Amino acid sequence: MLHAQTTAAARRVALRAALAAARSGGGVLRFPGAFNPLSALLIQELGFDGVYVSGAVLSADLGLPDIGLTTLTEVAGRAGAIARVTDLPAIVDADTGFGEPMNVARTIQLLEDAGLAGCHLEDQVNPKRCGHLDGKAVVDAGEMARRIRAAVAARRDPNFVICARTDARAVEGLDRAADRARAYVDAGADMIFPEAMADLDEFAAIRRAVDVPLLANMTEFGKSELFTATQLASVGMNVVIYPVTLLRLAMGAVEDGLRRIRDEGTQAGIVDRMQRRARLYELLDYAGYGVFDDAIFNFGLRD
């Protein structure tokens, strides 16, 4: 009811424990991308391991392309609203850290304050691009290492997970991506996110390069095949994110529904595809609020 029943600190401890278990052969942690707090509630109810907050989704929600136009305030506010409602650990896409190393340090502290369990920072230059588009450019490895060191120095909760994403595979090749992964671990990164791997063998190559948890991005219409969690576990991945899946599902349904209303003049033909009022109220825990004030939940529902 209202907010998560666990503290942000407890969720960070839980994430660290889950990552350790995954590294010991406990399978892959699955983090669907929530496009709002309500979808985060559903992710928790359906038994996933965590919630991911995608920069691409946040940008799209604001009607913007994913090219680094969002601000730290927007990202921290939206991610905090999502993290606040779920007892699952939430990881957010912090892009390039919103500026120079000092800005990166402030980013980490604001994300901690917002209740996130971790974030990832990437080695692209600004303006950045979606990780599965062509034409990316990366900063030198030393500059990215400075971003990571600033992030590590700034965090106040040692359990806040700092993940380093490298986009170097598409720019410099797989060997250089592996070299960067090693350098980023040396700089203090807790987890590595190798973006836009071509196949399972490439994921396995990054696994051989470093001995920290690894995150795989299973985004639709990208460079990577949509591997199963079992396949990813077989090559040593520990976390898999589905960053834009829920938004794409929702927007596909919304567009179809709008076309039906436009063409038919009524939504009557698509009511059977909608979430029922009773189901929404169940997800929002109307009954739980009634424990505090029976004047709120004093009515029946027709489904």
Alpha-carbon separation of residue 15 from 115, 141, 217, 275 (angstroms): 13, 27, 18, 31
Whether the ω angle into residue 127 lies within 30 degrees of 0, i.e. cis, is: yes
- Known catalytic membership, residue 126: no
- Known catalytic membership, residue 93: yes
- Known catalytic membership, residue 66: yes
Nearest alpha-carbon partner for 87 in 8, 161, 4: 4
- Known catalytic membership, residue 163: no
* C-alpha–C-alpha distance, residues 45 and 52, integer Å: 15
- Known catalytic membership, residue 16: no
Nearest alpha-carbon partner for 44 in 58, 31, 54: 31
* C-alpha–C-alpha distance, residues 260 and 44, integer Å: 32
Quickly count: other Cβ atoms within 10 Å of residue 51's Cβ: 30
Catalytic pick from 12, 132, 207, 217? 217
Catalytic pick from 11, 12, 52, 155? 52
Catalytic pick from 49, 93, 167, 202? 93
Catalytic pick from 130, 202, 238, 248? 130
- Known catalytic membership, residue 201: no
301 three-state secondary structure: coil
- Known catalytic membership, residue 143: no
Catalytic pick from 11, 16, 78, 120? 120
- Known catalytic membership, residue 132: no
Contact criterion met (CB below 8 Å) for 52 and 241:
yes
In 37-89, alpha helices (H) = 37-45, 55-61, 72-83
Catalytic pick from 12, 16, 30, 66? 66
- Known catalytic membership, residue 95: yes
- Known catalytic membership, residue 255: no
Catalytic pick from 165, 169, 180, 248? 165
User: Any idea which residues carry the catalytic annotation?
Assistant: 52, 66, 93, 95, 120, 122, 130, 165, 195, 217
